[in-house]
Amino acid sequence: MSKHILIVDDSASIRQMVEMTLKSAAYQVTTANDGQAGLDLCKKQQFDFVLTDQNMPRMDGLTLIKSLRGLANYRTVPIVVLTTEAGDDMKAKGRAAGATGWMVKPFDPQKLLAVSSKVLG
């Protein structure tokens, strides 16, 4: 059974590009258009990996990560931030929130697949 990945990003084009990349490696993919929608999905079903943007309406990525880490079934699930934010301060905030990793847009599809494979074991 393939691993199930949740992509959370308010950009439809980024969601589509990430989805196509991950599906090319036979991952099952679900998308959400902001942090609140992502959190709502995570409360209804279990994902093996969450890939989230930082800057989104309604709920940003760091708030999503903190919320997910508060759920018993998401304490150890890998969560990687995929964002335009490249500063060390934001990366430190991501680690403090519970992020597993940090990738800066634009993303390299091969690097995304390598990171996905690594965090999913």
Q: Are the C-beta atoms of residues 83 and 107 closer than 8 Å to each other?
A: no
The whole domain housing 93 covers 4-116
Task: Tell whether 28 is covered by a domain.
Answer: yes
In CATH, what number is assigned to the domain containing residue 53?
3.40.50.2300
Q: How many CA atoms lie within 13 A of 93 on its CB side?
A: 13
- Identify the pLDDT of residue 77: 98
Task: Tell whether 121 is covered by a domain.
Answer: no
Number of domains making up the chain: 1
Which pTM does this prediction carry? Answer: 0.96
Give the pLDDT mean for 89-117: 96
What DSSP element (H or E) covers 7? strand 4-8
13: left (phi over 0), alpha (psi -120 to 50) or beta: alpha
Task: Tell whether 97 is covered by a domain.
Answer: yes
Omega before residue 78 within 30° of 0, cis: no
Residue 56 phi/psi, 5-degree rounding, is -145, 155
59-86 pLDDT, tens digit each? 999 999 999 999 999 999 999 999 999 9
Check whether 1 has a pLDDT greater than 80.
Answer: no
Sign of the Cα torsion 60, 65, 68, 74 reads: positive
State what percent of residues in the chain have pLDDT above 90: 98
Task: Tell whether 100 is covered by a domain.
Answer: yes
Give the pLDDT mean for 82-95: 95
11-70 pLDDT, tens digit each? 999 999 999 999 999 999 999 999 999 999 999 999 999 999 999 999 999 999 999 999
Task: Tell whether 112 is covered by a domain.
Answer: yes
CA angle, 40 then 76 then 50, to 5°: 45
- Identify the pLDDT of residue 121: 86
